[in-house]
Each structure stands twice: as structure tokens, then as C-alpha cells.
Amino acid sequence: MGKSRRVWFEEAGGMLDPGLISQLRQLRKEGADEQKTGLPVIVRWKDRTDRKEREEALRICEGGSCDSVFGELSMSASFYGQLSPGTIDSLKDHKAVSKIYFDREVQALLDVASKSVGAVDVREHEGLSGKGVTIAVLDTGIHPHDDLTKPEERISGFADLVGEKQDPYDDQGHGTHCAGDAAGNGHLSEGLYTGPASEANVVGVKVLDKEGGGRLSTVIRGVEWCIQHREELDIRVISLSLGAPAFESYRDDPLAQACEAAWHSGIVVCAAAGNQGPYPGTISTPGIDPVIITVGSADDQDTIERGDDEKAPYSSRGPTLDLLVKPDIYAPGTNIISLSVPDSPLEEELPENRVGDYYISLSGTSMATPVCAGVVALMLEANPRLSPNDVKSILKSTAAEMEGDQAGYIDSRRAVDLAKKYLQFQQPFAPVKG
């Protein structure tokens, strides 16, 4: 008896990522017309391909009725769009194409919190509040909440890659909460609900829609936007409270690679571990990348004392697909009270979580990540010469032990103290940017 012939996408080897193969298999199972059904994809170019070869490949993408090229992802040498299975089949063998990915969906994954990580102590004894440091929050947008705009305007930039609007807004609520987790100043709560970096500037980059979802390509564009505007807006930290299932090594993951590019450009990248715990092997992308800071969520039990803190059961665990230890650090992420957007979908979905008229309580690694980003802002205020690698090393080496985990619980006081000590070695070599 002869062997049955495998379908074309199962014979493509490494040219198609597992997520795309899964989608193609599902379409085949449903009996969909492979010339009339479009799938969102990211296509990566091979190194050292010339313009003529790329234009030839792009012409293949113009052949079908449902084929469209939406744009370029310049820093990852890719383009994104919608292609039919038939076009993907033709494109996978082109000499200019390195790999084709399914453009997967990405989902959005402080009173006591700021005290439990030591941020209030740093503010009171060191006079540090993140002033002069800018944090970019890539999420559902940012609402001009009074805790970010009074007594001074601290929303220093905004980019809308979803609706292309000019003025800051958040039609879901998640991004505003995250911005407050990092940099809220408690203006409407008499200083009660504050983030660690209560005087830091924030830049809102809207990459998720009003449902809290989006595509890998949009998040990658957001990261690229931050790199392009790093000097203009003085962006030192990116906070990513979002993620998608990881199907491949970080070396082949386009979002992980974009975050690495940001890191190597001088921006500290903090990414959520994910909320698929307590099961092992559940770290989402881009948190799978070994270079960036992956943040897990701790439950501080609504107390300032450290003795009762523990890993939140929902917080994703490692190892990654590359068998790497993740997360890198834990920060408070359970029952975090932060900024709310009036009449937002988040308020309508969780009315019982509202705290007064201006705040809402949420849990997840989505909350832990901007708390970590806020602590990073304190470190950079204390020592602007720190590189991203310096920041990560200091955070990990000063963290308090978490039972049963190699990653520790973030300690802003010890991290700031060590950041300052680095100055004695850096001062003769690198002038502070004026």
C-alpha cells in the first residue's frame, strides 16, 4: 500500500510557521476555497535580496481577489497583509522569501502595590519619582485622566495605529489602567492610588482595539514607532501588557525580534509573562525572549509586608519553548487599583471592580508589567547612564526571594541603591545626556 501524499503546507518545511500551518489545515478541513479566502500574514524577506526580487514577490501578492499588502515592517525586513492560501503556496518557494507567519491575534493580558515594592519609600527618602523619564505604554490607548495631566501634563506623546486619531484616547480602558500602574500620581485620590513613577512622562501607543485585541503586525509597528521616536520623545522604557501564544523559538518570532531591536537601541522593554498559569510552558510572546524583562505577577495580599507575598496562580510559568527560565522578575499584579476611563467597555464589563468614580481594580501580569516599568523609571532617574542590560541585571540581583522560583520579587529601594553605585564606575566614561 502506497503512502498518502501530504498537502502542500505540511511539506513546506520551515517556510511556514506552525500557527499558519494550523490555520491552513483548518481551512482545508472546512473545505474553503483556497483562492478566495484571505489570511492575515507577515512575510519576512531573506537577507541580501535585491529590490527586483522583492518586487517580483510582491507582484505574486497582487494576483488574487482577496490578496492585499498593507505595509512594511522595516526593522524586521518584512511586510504584512492578507493572502489567500493559493498565494501563500506560490510565495513560499520564492527566492526572496525567508518565512511566512500567521499574523496572530494579540490580547491585553496602586496604593498597596507601590508600597510593597518599596516605591513609596524611594519617593520619600530618595526624592525620586521618575521625573524626566518617559515610559511608552503599548496598549488600547491612553485617556487624559487627571492623574496623568494634573497638576502638569505628563502625556508627552500619542500614536494611534488602530484608528489613526491624533488626540489621546482609550476606547477600552486597559491601556489607561496600565499607564496609571506605572505613573499615576493619585491626583483624584489625594495621593492614595499612585504608581511607582508618579512624575514620569508617558507616551500612549494604541496597538489594540476597543475589544482589547489586535495583530502581531500592529504591535510590531508600535515597537518600531517607539524606536523611530526614541530620541525625539526621550523614550527610555516600553511597557507591553499584551501577548500572544508562542509557537516557535524567540529567534524566529517576529514580535520577540522587534522587542530585541528596541532593547539594542537603548530602550528597556518590560513584557507580561501571560495569564495562563499555573501550568508550565505558558509564557507568551514577546515574553519568551531572553533579552527583555519578562514580568510575572505576585499577590501581595493587599498588605505592605513581604512575608505573605506569593506568586499569583494565574501568572504564566516557564520554561519557554527554548527551555529558558522565565519570568525574570515578579511584581504586584493582583487587585491593583488604578485609573479608569468613564463609561468604557472595561467599566461596563466589570462594574463590581470600580473604586469610586475614577478608579478600577484589575488583576493580571498586565498590571505587574507597568509596575515594573515604573520601578525602572526610578532607576533611570537615579542613574540615567544605565543601559538596558544594566537595568535587568540590577533588578534581578536585588530582588527578594520568591519561594520555589528562580525569579525574585522586585525591590525598588535596593534596585535604586545599586543603580546609584554604578555611577562611580560610569562617571569617567559616559557624559550624562543634557
Active site residues: 139, 174, 366
DSSP string, 226-280: HHHTHHHHTEEEEEE-EEB---S-GGG-HHHHHHHHHHHTT-EEEEE--S-TTSS
| 379 vs 410: CA distance, rounded Å | 12
Amino acid at 351: P
Phi-psi domain of 142 (left: phi exceeds 0; alpha: psi -120 through 50; beta: other): beta
Residue 64 phi/psi, 5-degree rounding, is -100, 160
How many Å apart are CA 434 and CA 418, to the nearest integer? 23
Smallest CA-to-CA distance from 143 within 336, 333, 358, 335 is with 358
Angle at which helices 119-126 and 365-382 cross, to 10°: 20
The partner residues of 339 in beta bridges, in order of sequence, read 359
Q: Does residue 288 sit in helix, strand or coil?
A: coil
Phi and psi torsions of 240, nearest 5°: -120, 95
- The H or E element spanning position 380 is helix 365-382
